[in-house]
Structure 1
Amino acid sequence: MTKLSGREITERAPQGWVYLLGALRTRLRTGDFATGLALVNTIGAAAEAADHHPDLDLRYTYLDVVLSSHDVGGVTGRDLRLAATISQLADSVGVAAAANGLAVVELALDSPGFPEQLDFWEAVLGYPRDAEGDLRDPYGKVPLIWFQRSGSEEPRQRWHPDLWVDPSEVRPRIDRALAAGGTLVSDAEAPSFWVLADPEGNKVCLCTWQDRG
């Protein structure tokens, strides 16, 4: 299977699905646990038939679904096909796929000592580094930790979160952040990412799939 680009994925994804941090995602707002559990069973049967398996996170009033092809490290046509099947199964019981508000957080350590810091955090967190040198929980329950070399000038921020959102959500989030007293530090790398800061100068990056190849 061929790994698809962000643009190809967003153009072909079923309604209610978004591409965030290397995976296709949706939230099925079931309203109750029993409906969600029944959907898990029907989605599981469809996944077995397709020999391609999503990550399912069942909660009291919703079911989160994550699709990616681990053999190519991204989203492929098989993920799009299974997403369409899942949407049909959900629609058959009156549940719509809706991705509004979905986001994925990863954490970045800004350090002049990188990569010397990496061994320490690998030991403490207890999960291994991937091919890019990031620390990734193999079960996907803890945010990915990545490292970037920074200057040593003080004061400086050691950690900052990267928040991955759908491109349609960037401007509303920036507007709300500015209205709440924040500042737009830089949009030089937009639409790949924007840097914002809270009233005390603590930074966060809003990230999208755009302009990333």
Structure 2
Amino acid sequence: MTKLTGQEITARAPGGWVYLRNALRTRLRTGDFATGLALVNAIGAAAEAVDHHPDLDLRYTHVDVRLYSHDVGRVTGRDLRLAATIGELAAAAGVGAGADGLTVLELALDSPGFPEQLGFWEAVLGYPRDAEGDLLDPYGKVPLIWFQRSGDEEPRQRWHPDLWVAPAEVAPRIAAALEAGGTLVSDADAPRFWVLADPEGNRLCLCTWEGRE
């Protein structure tokens, strides 16, 4: 299957879907558990019919859907086709699909001792390393942890969060952060990421798919 670029995925994705951290995602706002369960069953039957399976997270008032072709490590045309099918099933059930507010959180350890630190965190967390050497919870319930070599000047921040958002959400989130007393530390790597800091200087990277391919 052909690996698609972020631009291709975004251009072809059905309404209500967003490309975040190498996967196509949506939130189906079911309103109640019974509707969500019925929709999950319908999606499961459709996925079995095409032998391509999404990750589904059923909650009381919504179902989160993640599509990703594990065999090639990226989003492909299979995912776009299944997204369209899921959208049709949701519409038939009277359920709306929307990506507003969907995010993906990662944690980065900034360490002058990397990669010596990696073995400790791998052992204590019990997570396997993925193809890029990051620590990934195989059940997807805990943020991915990755490692970055840093300087050793003190004071320094050991950990920083990476928050993946849709490109359209970057400007309003930065504006809200500044209004809340934060600062924009750097936009030198935009649109891949922006570095923000809270009033005490703790940093976060706001990340998108743009500029990475």
TM-score normalised by L of structure 2: 0.99
Stretches of structure 2 that go unaligned for 5 or more consecutive residues are none
Equivalent residue number for residue 29 of structure 1: 29
Equivalent residue number for residue 10 of structure 2: 10
Query: What is the root-mean-square deviation in Å for CA atoms of aligned residues?
Result: 0.4
How far off its partner does 1:111 sit?
0.2
Equivalent residue number for residue 68 of structure 2: 68
CA displacement 1:92-137 (0-9 Å, x = unmatched) = 0111110000000000000000000000000000011112110011
Equivalent residue number for residue 80 of structure 1: 80
- What is the distance in 2 between the residues matched to 1:136 and 1:41? 28
Larger deviation, residues 136-145 vs 162-171 = 136-145
- What is the distance in 1 between the residues matched to 2:204 and 2:62? 28
Give secondary structure in 2 for the equivalent of 1:27: strand
Give secondary structure in 2 for the equivalent of 1:162: strand
Give secondary structure in 2 for the equivalent of 1:41: helix
Identity of aligned residues (%): 82
How far off its partner does 1:173 sit?
0.2
CA displacement 1:56-98 (0-9 Å, x = unmatched) = 0000000000000000001000000000000000000111110
> Does residue 113 of structure 2 align to residue 102 of structure 1?
no
How far off its partner does 1:184 sit?
0.0
Equivalent residue pairs, number: 213
Equivalent residue number for residue 196 of structure 2: 196
Equivalent residue number for residue 151 of structure 2: 151
Stretches of structure 1 that go unaligned for 5 or more consecutive residues are none
- What is the distance in 1 between the residues matched to 2:37 and 2:168? 30
Give secondary structure in 2 for the equivalent of 1:134: coil
Equivalent residue number for residue 123 of structure 1: 123
Equivalent residue number for residue 171 of structure 2: 171
Give secondary structure in 2 for the equivalent of 1:116: coil
Give secondary structure in 2 for the equivalent of 1:136: coil
Give secondary structure in 2 for the equivalent of 1:88: helix
CA displacement 1:134-161 (0-9 Å, x = unmatched) = 0011111111000000000000000000
The AA in structure 2 aligned to 1:49 is: A
- What is the distance in 2 between the residues matched to 1:44 and 1:128? 28
How far off its partner does 1:190 sit?
0.2
> Does residue 184 of structure 2 align to residue 184 of structure 1?
yes
- What is the distance in 2 between the residues matched to 1:191 and 1:94? 36
How far off its partner does 1:44 sit?
0.3
> Does residue 141 of structure 2 align to residue 141 of structure 1?
yes
Equivalent residue number for residue 19 of structure 2: 19
Give secondary structure in 1 for the equivalent of 2:7: helix
- What is the distance in 1 between the residues matched to 2:178 and 2:15? 30
- What is the distance in 1 between the residues matched to 2:116 and 2:131? 17
Give secondary structure in 1 for the equivalent of 2:117: helix
- What is the distance in 1 between the residues matched to 2:201 and 2:153? 15
The AA in structure 2 aligned to 1:74 is: R
- What is the distance in 1 between the residues matched to 2:106 and 2:125? 14
